[in-house]
């Protein structure tokens, strides 16, 4: 499995911890930035990860900023991206099962590393259920 990951400065520390965690699970990572805790604009990294997902360079994306909202909004501007802001494993699982989410977004200032890891594990192990959810997914893109 290959994942693109990105964050702004507020998510930088969590991103670095999650890269280590993901690599320990044998997952290949493409780090789209930022690369330090110096101020950085979340749209730059949200767009970079979204483009990697759309171009099928990776299987999924993971994003984070302070609240998760800004970077999530940026990624979701791309047709074909279904970025889901998640804060626990149950929400993460439902994002895959019901929404066929292809990017997991985390609120870096409001989640522990351990909870973020649980979110990732749920997101990466669940599958889209299809069925009644398929028609809804088709209505998302404009």
Distances (CA, A) of 117 to 22, 44, 47, 54: 9, 24, 23, 24
Number of domains the chain contains? 1
Rg of the chain over all Cα atoms, to the nearest angstrom: 14
CATH number at residue 30: 3.40.1400.10
Q: Which residues are catalytic?
A: 65, 98
Which helix (H) or strand (E) segment holds residue 46: the answer is helix 42-54
- 83-85 and 28-31 beta bridge pairing: unpaired
Per-residue pLDDT of the chain (142 residues; tens, 9 = 90+): 999 999 999 999 999 999 999 999 999 999 999 999 999 999 999 999 999 999 999 999 999 999 999 999 999 999 999 999 999 999 999 999 999 999 999 999 999 999 999 999 999 999 999 999 999 999 999 8
Q: Which domain holds residue 71?
A: 2-138
């Amino acid at each position: 499995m290959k994942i693109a990951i990105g964050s702004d400065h507020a998510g930088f520390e969590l991103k670095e911890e999650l890269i280590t965690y993901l690599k320990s699970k044998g997952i290949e990572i493409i780090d789209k930035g930022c690369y330090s805790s110096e101020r950085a604009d979340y749209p730059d990294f949200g767009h970079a990860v979204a483009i990697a997902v759309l171009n099928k360079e990776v299987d999924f994306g993971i994003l984070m900023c302070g609240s998760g909202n800004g970077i999530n909004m940026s990624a979701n501007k791309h047709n074909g991206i279904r970025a889901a802001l998640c804060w626990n494993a149950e929400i993460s699982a439902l994002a895959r099962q019901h929404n066929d989410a292809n990017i997991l977004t985390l609120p870096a200032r409001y989640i522990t590393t351990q909870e973020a890891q649980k979110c990732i594990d749920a997101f990466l192990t669940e599958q889209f259920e299809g069925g009644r959810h398929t028609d809804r997914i088709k209505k998302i893109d404009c």
